[in-house]
């Protein structure tokens, strides 16, 4: 792709995009929609968005309870802005998925050209683009309703930053990465240190983007939620190394990462002997692998995720991006660059193999329609929710029927909103979303700070089904004594609370001080300075 640089901005000539890259855009866009689904957890975002935009309750899961039960402020902000339209979430998530896929595609094309800039043009292979734009796991999560599309886009931005030079637009994307997922603070700090050391200057645009966005959200979080981390942090901060390693293997084996790694290691060794490290941008590639490894260690530590690939999206995409330009350089060095027909066959075979790979959980490939599903090592695939109408409406008519905006508006117009008389317990986020006229206790603790701090064993990463009886205890207290601070104290005084509530009453009061805060900055800072600790029911 011919690149013209004007004032630090890059303008790409569309006519120079290679045929295989256009194929990846069109085929990848089609597959993104073909694999479309909604993860049950996405309905947590949806409930927060509708409570804020339509029901005017604020950015809350339950009215009056200020708990940050979502993991990505950036994705939450994007949903809030787009939900201002009349578009349903079923359509909205698909539109955002395709758009973010297209942006990621463009960044991958740009990355390949940056990686090829030190040697003569050759026929384009663009292995990172072929792999990331055609792999089932990667494409599935562009339409999951979760923040993973942003994670994958940010991963390519890190690669662009490290392959250099650090353009302002790329620095902004990297600077916003901690707002996409909290664990991306780690690669951000590492890359900041590396760039400052290597270039003997601070990447101020990146620092400014991170400082402004991070400080603004931290201030909002302290003032609004009386906390410095999301509620999900308390729930998922566990140590489960064995399950985490199984999670990595579950992602690596189906897509042949060991073969890819061995092949490109051999290619790199050959090229380094001929050209040296500087011409191959070796330092940048090694830092990419370091950042990928750092996030992988974190994912392994917490046991991964109950869904195939999702928590490894950042290291997976960044690791693949580290191969940018190597295939083209290798083909040129061994004299095959002029054999365009042979290269066309090579990339076609590579594309077909990539498209047809599937996770071990699937008995057949979803490219050809419905397929069987089985849980492996406590890990499920997207297919489990893709074919379940409760999570993912199967047709446009079902999606239209599931749109709650008209029902919410009629409910608001009919009477004074009151959800205190109805208390429901469920672990299904989709059920909680549909119960907009009720107070909901999420029995897995995603949005309830009491349950999130309960020390019970994990059945799967992020899933503690042992919380269910305690969720019913909380619901019983709220159904009888109402909502707000002091209700558990009233239940204990009336001998209507189970023993674990009475035993942890002081701790519960400290949690209530946060969740029912009055948005007074100083009071919230004092509450944060006295962490309540864990509940051991």
Output the pLDDT for position 5.
46
Q: C-alpha angle 420/59/475, rounded to 5°?
A: 30
Q: Using a cut of 0.85, tell me whether the model's pTM lies above it.
A: yes
Distance CA 72, CA 20 (A): 34
Split at pLDDT 50, 70, 90, the class of 368 is confident
Output the pLDDT for position 109.
96
pLDDT > 60? residue 375? yes
User: DSSP character for 222?
Assistant: I
pLDDT in tens, 33-55: 999 999 999 999 999 999 999 99
Output the pLDDT for position 277.
78
Q: Is the preceding peptide bond at 165 cis, omega within 30 degrees of 0? A: yes
Residue 204: φ, ψ to 5°: -65, -35
3-class state of residue 7 by DSSP: coil
Tell me the two tokens of residue 451.
């349950």
User: Positive or negative, the Cα torsion across 293, 295, 300, 305?
Assistant: negative
Mean pLDDT (whole number) for 275-283: 84
3-class state of residue 309 by DSSP: coil
Output the pLDDT for position 422.
85
pLDDT in tens, 501-533: 999 999 999 999 999 999 999 999 999 999 998
Distance CA 161, CA 111 (A): 9
pLDDT > 80? residue 338? no
pLDDT in tens, 145-167: 999 999 999 999 999 999 988 89
Q: Report whether 323 contacts 128 (CB < 8 A).
A: yes
Output the pLDDT for position 395.
84
Split at pLDDT 50, 70, 90, the class of 14 is low
Output the pLDDT for position 421.
63
Mean pLDDT (whole number) for 345-354: 94
Which has more pLDDT, 9 or 466? 466
- The per-residue pLDDT of the chain, averaged, comes to 92
Q: What's the full length of the chain, in residues?
A: 537
pLDDT > 50? residue 12? no
Mean pLDDT (whole number) for 72-101: 96
User: DSSP character for 459?
Assistant: S
Q: C-alpha angle 134/137/141, rounded to 5°?
A: 100
Split at pLDDT 50, 70, 90, the class of 10 is very low
pLDDT > 60? residue 21? yes
Q: C-alpha angle 150/156/158, rounded to 5°?
A: 100
Mean pLDDT (whole number) for 472-484: 94
User: DSSP character for 8?
Assistant: T
CA-closest candidate to residue 158, choices 347, 350, 314, 381: 314
User: Positive or negative, the Cα torsion across 190, 195, 200, 201?
Assistant: negative
CA-closest candidate to residue 317, choices 486, 518, 531, 107: 107
Output the pLDDT for position 13.
46
Give the N- to C-terminal CA distance of the chain in Å, as an integer.
Answer: 61
pLDDT in tens, 395-433: 888 888 889 999 999 998 886 666 556 899 999 999 999
Q: What percent of the chain has pLDDT over 70?
A: 95
pLDDT in tens, 194-248: 999 998 999 999 999 999 999 999 999 999 999 999 999 999 888 999 999 999 9
The number of CA neighbours under 13 Å toward the Cβ of 170 is 25
pLDDT in tens, 88-145: 999 999 999 999 999 999 999 999 999 987 666 678 899 999 999 999 999 999 999 9
Tell me the DSSP string of 330-395: HHHHTT-TT-HHHHHHHHHHHHHHHHH---TTBSS-GGGS---B--BTTBB-THHHHT-TTTS-SS
Output the pLDDT for position 360.
96
How do 423-426 and 3-6 pair as beta strands?
unpaired
Tell me the two tokens of residue 135.
């792999």
Output the pLDDT for position 3.
42
């Amino acid at each position: 792709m011919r690149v013209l640089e004007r004032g630090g901005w890059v303008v790409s000539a569309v006519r120079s995009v290679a045929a295989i890259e256009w194929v990846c855009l069109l085929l990848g866009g089609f597959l993104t929609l073909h694999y479309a689904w909604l993860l049950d957890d996405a309905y947590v975002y949806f409930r927060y968005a509708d409570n804020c935009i339509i029901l005017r309750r604020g950015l809350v899961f339950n009215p009056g309870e200020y708990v940050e039960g979502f993991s990505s402020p950036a994705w939450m902000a994007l949903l809030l802005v787009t939900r201002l339209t009349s578009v349903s979430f079923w359509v909205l998530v698909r539109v955002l998925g395709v758009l973010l896929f297209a942006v990621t595609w463009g960044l991958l094309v740009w990355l390949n050209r940056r990686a090829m800039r030190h040697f003569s043009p050759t026929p384009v292979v663009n292995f990172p683009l072929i792999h990331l734009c055609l792999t089932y796991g990667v494409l599935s999560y562009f339409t999951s309703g979760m923040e993973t599309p942003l994670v994958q886009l940010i991963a390519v931005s890190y690669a662009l930053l490290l392959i250099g030079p650090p353009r302002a637009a790329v620095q902004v994307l990297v600077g916003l990465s901690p707002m996409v997922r909290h664990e991306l603070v780690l690669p951000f700090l590492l890359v900041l240190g590396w760039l400052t050391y290597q270039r003997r200057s601070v990447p101020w645009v990146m620092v400014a983007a991170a400082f402004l966005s991070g400080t603004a959200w931290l201030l909002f979080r302290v003032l609004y939620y009386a906390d410095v981390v999301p509620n999900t942090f308390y729930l998922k901060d566990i140590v489960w190394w064995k399950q985490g390693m199984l999670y990595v293997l579950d992602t690596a084996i189906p897509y042949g990462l060991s073969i890819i790694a061995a092949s490109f290691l051999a290619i790199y060794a050959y090229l380094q002997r001929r050209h040296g490290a500087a011409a191959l941008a070796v330092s940048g590639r090694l830092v990419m692998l370091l950042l990928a490894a750092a996030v992988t260690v974190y994912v392994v530590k917490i046991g991964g995720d109950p869904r195939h690939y999702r928590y490894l999206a950042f290291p997976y995409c960044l690791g693949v991006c580290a191969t940018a330009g190597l295939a083209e350089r290798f083909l040129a060095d061994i004299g095959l660059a002029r054999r365009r027909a042979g290269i066309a066959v090579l990339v076609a075979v590579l594309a077909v193999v990539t498209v047809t790979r599937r996770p071990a959980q699937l008995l057949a490939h979803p490219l050809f329609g419905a397929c069987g599903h089985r849980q492996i090592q406590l890990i499920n695939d997207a297919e489990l929710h893709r074919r379940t109408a409760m999570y993912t409406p199967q047709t446009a008519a079902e999606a239209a029927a599931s749109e709650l905006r008209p029902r919410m508006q009629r409910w608001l117009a009919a009477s004074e909103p009151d959800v205190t008389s109805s208390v429901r317990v469920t672990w299904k986020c989709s059920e909680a979303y549909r119960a907009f006229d009720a107070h909901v206790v999420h029995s897995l603790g995603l949005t309830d700070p009491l349950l999130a701090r309960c020390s019970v064993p994990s059945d799967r990463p992020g899933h503690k089904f042992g919380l269910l009886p305690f969720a019913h205890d909380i619901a019983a207290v709220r159904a009888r004594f109402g909502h707000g601070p002091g209700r558990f104290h009233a239940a204990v005084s009336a001998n209507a609370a189970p023993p674990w509530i009475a035993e942890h009453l002081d701790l519960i009061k400290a949690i209530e001080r946060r969740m029912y805060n009055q948005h007074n900055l100083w009071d919230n800072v004092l509450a944060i300075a006295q962490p309540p600790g864990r509940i051991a029911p």
